[in-house]
Copies of this chain bind each other. A is one copy, B any other.
Amino acid sequence: VTNPTVADLGEHALIERITSRLPVPAWVVVGPGDDAAVLKPVRNALDVVTTDALVDGVHFDMRFVPSRAIGHRALAANLSDLAAMGARPRAALLSLALPASLAANVVDGLVDGFVAHAASQQVAIVGGNITRTPGPLVVNVTAHGSVHPRGVLTREGARPGDGVYVTGWLGAAAVGLASLRARAEHPGHEACPVPACEERYLYPVSRSRAGLQISHYGAASSCMDLSDGLADGVRQLAAASGVGVLVDGDALPIPDEARRWHEVQGTDAMAAALSGGDDYELLFTVRPRHAGKLRGAAARCRDLPITRIGVVTKDTAQLVRRGSTVSALPEGYQHFR
């Protein structure tokens, strides 16, 4: 068979193709291939665990998302959740539901992307599962990390007066997605290339280092990651903390490439940055008296910008200011709506 499908290979051969490529560090007592993985814990640390799934046709479109990017993004989304807790990522499990007709080289690409990103983030792939499905490809990842007992970041500690901050850039991934989609649907499309935004959509790098430094310096009163857009994140963090947030729309760190793209399209870069998903940045709050701790953490985040984008309020309304106009923050994205 020249281009075998997963059905041609069968389950055992597929698992063998995957596990043969995985390095197993010494703290993995039992790695992939047994009923479960056995891991040595980190001394004096708490375990952090999270799970997240990507579904073909919902979270990615195989017409313009390379298989490597699918694997990369599935892991990055989980590592972003660990970063939001202040945790150091450590291990991951990869569970695939595969259509029988899927080309085996798509699985290879997906696994390559997953393995490469895991290696770059010093994450061991310790196990997983493969099953067939009559439906679309589903990539379910579970990630494990460790956090210092006094460094746990949660969504619950924001208080009125705290500053609201984000790492990195907002709105880039959404522009990348829109551009990739436009190019896939209109092959002649050449207007305003956005390579950095496309890269950011396809190969996001979670803010593990920033999360660790914010945790280490005790800089944040609350923290979460942005997967479904800033508006959704602000609403969730505010709800968990029982507070309001006033976002300064003019302060959002939207990259120039994304701004230019919106200008050409005639769309609103700020509105898009509020509602666009897939940024995988950290959203966090800082007590005014902890500004020095934040500076300490920020100094150790290399070139990553950290931007103040608003303030926590006692009134529980979620608002956004543009120039001198204050309006309600848009509703967050709801996956079933």
| Residues of A that sit less than 8 Å from B by CB | 6-7, 9-12, 14, 29-30, 33-41, 45-53, 55, 57-59, 80-82, 84-85, 87, 91, 93, 95, 97-98, 100, 126-136, 138, 140, 142-145, 147, 149, 152, 154-156, 224-225, 240, 334-337
Given contact pairs A39-B48, A51-B127, A59-B131, a sample of 13 additional A-B residue pairs in the complex whose CB atoms are under 8 Å apart: A7-B336, A34-B224, A35-B81, A36-B48, A36-B81, A36-B143, A37-B49, A38-B87, A53-B95, A93-B142, A100-B336, A129-B140, A138-B138
A97 to B51, CA, bound (A): 12
Q: How far is the CB of A295 from chain B (nearest CB, A)?
A: 24
**Which of A14, A50, A80, A136 has the most chain B CB atoms closer than 10 A to its own CB?**
A50
Q: How far is the CB of A86 from chain B (nearest CB, A)?
A: 9
Do B14 and A36 have beta carbons less than 8 Å apart?
Answer: no
Do A48 and B53 have beta carbons less than 8 Å apart?
Answer: no
A126 to B47, CA, bound (A): 12
Q: How far is the CB of A91 from chain B (nearest CB, A)?
A: 7
With A100-B336, A133-B138, A136-B135 as known contacts, state yes or no: A48 contacts B55, CB within 8 Å.
Answer: no
A51 to chain B: which residues have CB within 8 Å? 93, 95, 127-129, 140, 142
A2 to B169, CA, bound (A): 44
A-B contact pairs, 24 of them (CB 8 A): A11-B334, A11-B336, A12-B334, A14-B336, A29-B152, A30-B154, A33-B155, A34-B154, A35-B84, A35-B155, A36-B48, A36-B84, A36-B85, A36-B143, A39-B46, A47-B144, A50-B127, A51-B127, A51-B140, A52-B129, A53-B138, A100-B336, A129-B140, A138-B138
